[in-house]
Amino acid sequence: MINPQMVMYEEEFNQIQTVVDRLVKEANAKVVFIVDKNGQLITVSGGGDDDGTDMTSLASLTAGCIAATGAIAQLLNESEFATQFHEGELANIHIQLVGNRIILVVVFDGKSSLGLVRLRVRKATTELDRIFLAVLAKAQAPGADAPFAEITDNDIDSLFND
């Protein structure tokens, strides 16, 4: 299958959440989030409920950014540019491609530094790579759940009855 479906189960989700929660603290970051390469937000940590940051848009645009730089890399005969850093006046953003599958994004301000973020991201990347390999293996394993096999045509139709 060229484009395997990503299915996130509780066990792996909790492992991922533990890694990003720790990264927020250890890197002194404002927000850490994980997006898949297609722009779907997988999880977020930090920020706070009243932060008001539009995470869905951030996720989609980050994936667009990675896709665009990936295409630039290919034009230059590089396989990927795995790391990106954007520096603003108040906020900075560090974007790391993990295992060519998912994107780890760290938003930080003057309370942290690029060096610290890089260091902590490197450690988290190794752990996340291992977890996402397990997620992928689970989804592709023979006999894996087809989670929506039991939906009926009526279920689908009822979504559109307005």
**Least distance to another protein, CB of residue 71, Å:** 5
Helix (H) or strand (E) holding 123: helix 114-140
Nearest-angstrom CA–CA distance, 85 and 105: 10
**Cβ contacts of residue 136 below 8 Å, gap of 6+?**
4, 6, 101
Any idea what DSSP says for residue 5?
Answer: P
Question: Could you tell me the smallest distance in angstroms from the CB atom of residue 140 to another protein?
Answer: 12
Position 36 contacts another protein (CB under 8 A): yes
Spatial separation of the C-alpha atoms in residues 29 and 27, rounded to whole Å:
5
Contact region with another protein (CB under 8 A), list: 89-97, 113-121, 123-131, 145-153: 145-153
Q: Taking the CB of residue 80, how many other CB atoms lie within 10 A of it?
A: 13
* Contact status: 106 vs another protein (CB under 8 A): no
Stretch that binds another protein, among 23-31, 63-71, 85-93, 107-115 (CB under 8 A): 63-71
User: Whole-angstrom Cα distance, residue 116 to residue 112?
Assistant: 7
- Binding residue (CB under 8 A) for another protein from 48, 79, 90, 148: 148
Residue 109 touches another protein, criterion: CB under 8 A? no
Binding positions for another protein, rule: CB under 8 A: 2-10, 13, 36-40, 42, 54, 56-57, 60-61, 64, 67-68, 70-71, 146-151, 153, 155-160
